[in-house]
C-alpha cells in the first residue's frame, strides 16, 4: 500500500489556512510589505513577507513560530479526522531557525519566556498530548526531509499515522546576514526573472498528515509516490546543478515515473542568481528530452522564502493545484531569463489545467541539502 496525505494545514503572510493560501496564490497576491519585525533603518533591504499578528504598538513578541505551528497542526489534524488528541502519533517538524527570534528578544530586550518552550515538542505535548516529537533542522529543505522520514515510518510499519510539519519566522540576525549577501538589496522575490536580486524571508508554518492508503478515514488529499534526498556538501551556500539533477531523477525512480509523466513542477525558485541558474540547468537536463514541458510555477514571490516550511508550503499548493485543475502564477516573473525561455511557466494569472495527475516539488537548502517529492492526485 502507498503512503497518502490525509490532511493539511498552513499559515502564511497571505493566508491563515490552506484554502486562503491557495486562493491567494492563484489570485497572484503577495505578502510583501515594509519590514515590521525590527528597525529597518539598519538595513539596505526594506521588505519581507510577515505574518502581522503582533499586538498593536507593542513591538515583537516571543514564540510566534510555535503558535503558527500549533495552528497548522490543528488544521491538518482536524481535516484528517484526528481531533486534538495526538498521543502516540509521531510529529516531525522541519525548520531552519527554530525559535531563534525568541532568543534574540530575550538576549537583547530581556523579553521573558520559558527556555523549555524553545523546543517545539513542549507546546505540541501541551496542546495535543504529542509524545513523539522530533525536530529536523536541515536548512530550507527541512520540511521535505521530514516528509521523507515520515513516509519511511509509515512504509516500514513503525507508525500508522505521522504528522509532518515545517515552520520558520523572520529573525533579525538572519535578515542582517542576508542583507550583506547581495550587491543590491532585493525589493521582492523575483524567481527566474532578469531583475532578480535575491531572496527575502517569509513567516509561515505548514503541516500534513500521512497515513497508509486503504485504511479507514477521510478521502486522501494525494498519494506520495516518492521522496528523494541527498546532501552533496559541495558549497556552504551555492547549489550544485548536477546534484539537483541527481535528486530529481532519484525521486522519479522512487516514484516509478519518467520525466514525461510529470504534469506539474513546484520549483524551489528563490530568485537568487545562483539558485535560479542551478535549478534551471537541472530541470532543463531532466525534462529537456521529455517532449511536452510540464507546467511549472514557484510560490516564494507570494509567500516569501519560508525556509524550513517552504517545501511543504509548495507541496500543499501542488496538491490543491491537482485537485482544482489550476496552476497558480509565478508572481514577480515579468522578464524570464534565457534558461527558462522554453518552459511552460505559469505567468500573469492562474492557468487552467484539468488533467494534472503527477506533481514534483523541489526544495533545496544551504550545504547541498536537496529534497524532491513526487505526488499523485487521488481520484
Contact in structure between 262 and 360 (CB atoms under 8 Å):
yes
The string of pLDDT tens digits covering residues 93-146 is: 999 999 999 999 999 889 999 999 999 999 999 999 999 999 999 889 999 999
Domain 223-377 bears CATH identifier 3.40.47.10: yes
271: cell is 530568485
At residue 359, does pLDDT exceed 80?
yes
351: cell is 492557468
Q: What would the mean pLDDT of 253-275 be, rounded to a whole number?
A: 95
Report the pLDDT value the prediction gives residue 1, as an integer from 0 to 100.
52
CATH number of 3-212: 3.40.47.10
As annotated, the residues of the chain forming the CATH 3.40.47.10 domain(s) are 3-212, 223-377
At residue 325, does pLDDT exceed 80?
yes
Dump the DSSP string for 41-94.
GG-S--EEE----SPTTS---S-HHHHHHHHHHHHHHHHTT-TT--TT--EEEE
pTM, whole model, 2 decimals?
0.96
Which residue is it, cell 509521531? 90
Listed in order, strand segments (DSSP E) in the chain are: 3-12, 32-34, 47-49, 91-94, 133-136, 161-168, 204-212, 222-231, 264-266, 295-297, 326-327, 344-345, 351-352, 358-365, 369-377
The string of pLDDT tens digits covering residues 342-355 is: 999 999 999 999 99
- Nearest of 146, 191, 190 to residue 283 by alpha carbon: 191
Q: Report the DSSP beta bridge partners of residue 372.
A: 228, 362
Report the pLDDT value the prediction gives residue 114, as an integer from 0 to 100.
92
Output the average pLDDT for the chain: 94
Amino acid at each position: 500500500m502507498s503512503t497518502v496525505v490525509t490532511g493539511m494545514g498552513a499559515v502564511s503572510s497571505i493566508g491563515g489556512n490552506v484554502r486562503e493560501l491557495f486562493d491567494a496564490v492563484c489570485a497572484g497576491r503577495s505578502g510583501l510589505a515594509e519590514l515590521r519585525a525590527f528597525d529597518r533603518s539598519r538595513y539596505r533591504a526594506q521588505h519581507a513577507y510577515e505574518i502581522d499578528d503582533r499586538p498593536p504598538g507593542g513591538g515583537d513578541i516571543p514564540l510566534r513560530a510555535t503558535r503558527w505551528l500549533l495552528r497548522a497542526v490543528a488544521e491538518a489534524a482536524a481535516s484528517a479526522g484526528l481531533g486534538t488528541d495526538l498521543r502516540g502519533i509521531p510529529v516531525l517538524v522541519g525548520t531552519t531557525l527554530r525559535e531563534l527570534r525568541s532568543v534574540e528578544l530575550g538576549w537583547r530586550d530581556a523579553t521573558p519566556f520559558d527556555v523549555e518552550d524553545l523546543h517545539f515538542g513542549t507546546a505540541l505535548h501541551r496542546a495535543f498530548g504529542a509524545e513523539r516529537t522530533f525536530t529536523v533542522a536541515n536548512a530550507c529543505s527541512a520540511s521535505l526531509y521530514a516528509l521523507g522520514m515520515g513516509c519511511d515510518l509509515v512504509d516500514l510499519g513503525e507508525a500508522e499515522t505521522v504528522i509532518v510539519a515545517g515552520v520558520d519566522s523572520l529573525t533579525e540576525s538572519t535578515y542582517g546576514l542576508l542583507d550583506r549577501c547581495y550587491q543590491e538589496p532585493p525589493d521582492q522575490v523575483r524567481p527566474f526573472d532578469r531583475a532578480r536580486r535575491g531572496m527575502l524571508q517569509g513567516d509561515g508554518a505548514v503541516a500534513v498528515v500521512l497515513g497508509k492508503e486503504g485504511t479507514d478515514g477521510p478521502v486522501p488529499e494525494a498519494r506520495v509516490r516518492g521522496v528523494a534526498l541527498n546532501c552533496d556538501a559541495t558549497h556552504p551556500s551555492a547549489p550544485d546543478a548536477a546534484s539537483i539533477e541527481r535528486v530529481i531523477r532519484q525521486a522519479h525512480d522512487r516514484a516509478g515515473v519518467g520525466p514525461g509523466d510529470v504534469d506539474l513542477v513546484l520549483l524551489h525558485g528563490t530568485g537568487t542568481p545562483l539558485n535560479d541558474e542551478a535549478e534551471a540547468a537541472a530541470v532543463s537536463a531532466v525534462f529537456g528530452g521529455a517532449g511536452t514541458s510540464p507546467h511549472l510555477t514557484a510560490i516564494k514571490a507570494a509567500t516569501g522564502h519560508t525556509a524550513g516550511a517552504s517545501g511543504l508550503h509548495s507541496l500543499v499548493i501542488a496538491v490543491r493545484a491537482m485537485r482544482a485543475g489550476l496552476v497558480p502564477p509565478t508572481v514577480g516573473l515579468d522578464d524570464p531569463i534565457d534558461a527558462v525561455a522554453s518552459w511552460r511557466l505559469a505567468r500573469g494569472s492562474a492557468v487552467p489545467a484539468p488533467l494534472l495527475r503527477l506533481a514534483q516539488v523541489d526544495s533545496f537548502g544551504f550545504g547541498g541539502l536537496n529534497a524532491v517529492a513526487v505526488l499523485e492526485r487521488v481520484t
